[in-house]
Structures are given as structure tokens and as C-alpha cells.
Structure 1
Amino acid sequence: MPYWEIFTPENAFTPEDKEQLSEAITSIYVDYQSLPKFYVVVLFKDMPANTMYVGGKPANNFVRIRLDHIARQMDGAEIRAMFMGLVEEKLAAFVKDRGYDWEVHVDETPIDLWRTQGLVPPPAHSDVEKLWAKENRAIPYEVAS
């Protein structure tokens, strides 16, 4: 699962902005990794003035993005650079072009430490994962031992 936490100045994004940005983020994983859409979770956290600090000073024009990757791990510097380029591209209209300062980081969690709806997610690119993507939901299946 890709999980994004986006910390923004209060009222930086409208509900429409949040939906559009969430769709753009989801497209990264669906278009490039064929992940089920429901794997992608985006949480927006509006931060009131003077609650985020950078270098000990209030950062009221700052967007901080934390990503957790679980469903897929990125192998190699080239893949990571490509991914970070896609992230910057998808964020540009919402962050860079609006004059915000920003920072992004990615953590990768081992897939065996993840469950969805109490189920062990199916192997990457498997028929079961393709079914989950088609149905856009977790469906019980027999886990190979």
C-alpha cells in the first residue's frame, strides 16, 4: 500500500484540490505498477499557523509529505529517481506552482508487516492481485504456504 500523509498550511487546498491531487497520486501506482486503486491512501493534515517549524522558525508556507510504501519496494537508484521525478511532477501544480516550500520522503515497509481487511495481500502481479485491482477491493483467497 502506498500511504501518503500531506501536511499543509491550513486551507492550502480546497476539497476539489485534494481530490484532484489524490487522483494524480493514485495514477502513479495504477499506471506504473498496476496496483489496485484501493491500495493508495492519501491523508491531508491541515496545520494551523505556527504549528510547523523548519530550522526553529515558523514555516507557514511549507508542505511536508511523508510516504510509506508497502505493496512494492523500489529496487535501484534509477527506479527511485524515476519515482521521485513522477512525485515532483504530480505535486507541481498543487505545491511548487503555488509558491509553497516543500519536502518529500519515502519509507519502505516490508510487505509481511501489512494486512488489508485482515488479509495477506496477494503476490505482486498475480492473478489474485489483478482481480483485486479489477474489483477495487480485497477479496479473500487461499494463501499459498
Structure 2
Amino acid sequence: MPLWAIHHTPGFFTDEDKRDLAARITDHYERAGLPRFYVVVIFDEIRSENLYVGGEPTSVGLRVVIDHIARHAPDKQRRNGIAHWIKSILQPYLEGKDNLHWEFHVDETSEDLWMINGLIPPPMGSDAEKRWVAQNAVSAY
């Protein structure tokens, strides 16, 4: 499951921006073969006086924390590709923001420590996973 926790200062995103960004993120993972319901995007508005960079409050900031659990990049080249894809997804929302500080990172968490609705997700490429993708829902397997 990809989990995107997007921490941002007030006014950074409109409601339409949030829907669009969440859809773009989800579409990408679906194209990679994941069920849409694996993708969780959380927008967390942080008041400027509560977001510090280098010990100083940041008036315009974005910090994205991404957990990849369902899939892992096998090598540095693929990880770099993921980083560039993330930058390209975020780029349209960064333009026109003066004094912006932004960054992201991706953690790859063991899939052994993950459940959805009390079930361990099926193995990658299995018939059960294909059924989850087709149904876009958790089901016993």
C-alpha cells in the first residue's frame, strides 16, 4: 500500500487540488498493477508557526512522507525513477509559491507488517491479487 502523508501550510492546496492530486497518485499506482484501494492520501494542514525548518518557522511549506509497502524498488535506478516521478506529480502544485520550502521521502516498509481489514494482502501477481484489483475490494482468498 502506498501511503502519502502530505503536510502543508494553510492555503497550499484547494479542495480541487487535493482531489486532483489524490486521483493522479492513485492512477499511477493502478497502472503499476495495484488495487486503487491500496492507495491512501492524507492531507494534513499545518499552521506556519508549527512547521519549522532549520529551527525557523516556515511560511510556505510542503513535506510529503510516503510509505511503500505493497511493492519495493529493486535497485537504485528504479528508486531514482520513483523520486523523479514523485517530483513530477508534485511540480504543478509548487509553481507560483514564493519562499517555498518543500521536500519528500519514501520509506519501504516490510509487507510482512501489513494487513487490510484483518487480511494479509495476497502475493504480488497472484490470482487473488488480480481479483482484488478487478473488484477494487478486499476479499478472502
Q: SS where residue 128 of structure 2 aligns?
A: helix
Correspondence 1:117-136 to 2 at 5 A? 117-136=117-136
Task: For residue 27 of structure 1, report the CA deviation from its aligned partner.
Answer: 2.0
TM-score, normalised on structure 1?
0.92
Superposed structure 1 runs of 4+ greater than 4 Å apart = none
* Number of aligned residues: 139
* Counterparts of 1:56 and 1:106, CA distance in 2: 23
Task: For residue 30 of structure 1, report the CA deviation from its aligned partner.
Answer: 1.3
Corresponding residue for 2:104? Answer: 104
Task: For residue 14 of structure 1, report the CA deviation from its aligned partner.
Answer: 1.3
Identity of matched residues, %: 40
Task: Write out per-residue CA displacement over residues 89-144 of structure 1, whole angstroms, 9 at most, x where no aligned residue.
Answer: 1111112x132321000111110100001001001111111111111111111xxx
Corresponding residue for 2:54? Answer: 55
Q: SS where residue 16 of structure 1 aligns?
A: helix
- Match for 2:130: what amino acid? K
* Counterparts of 1:137 and 1:52, CA distance in 2: 36
* Counterparts of 1:15 and 1:130, CA distance in 2: 32
- Match for 1:111: what amino acid? E
Aligned residues: CA RMSD? 1.0
1:98 to 1:129, Cα distance in 2 relative to 1, 3 A: farther
Corresponding residue for 2:71? Answer: 72
Corresponding residue for 1:138? Answer: 138
Corresponding residue for 1:7? Answer: 7
Task: For residue 81 of structure 1, report the CA deviation from its aligned partner.
Answer: 0.8
Q: SS where residue 11 of structure 1 aligns?
A: coil
* Counterparts of 1:60 and 1:6, CA distance in 2: 16
- Match for 1:2: what amino acid? P
Runs of 5+ in structure 2 lacking a partner? none
Runs of 5+ in structure 1 lacking a partner? none
TM-score, normalised on structure 2?
0.94
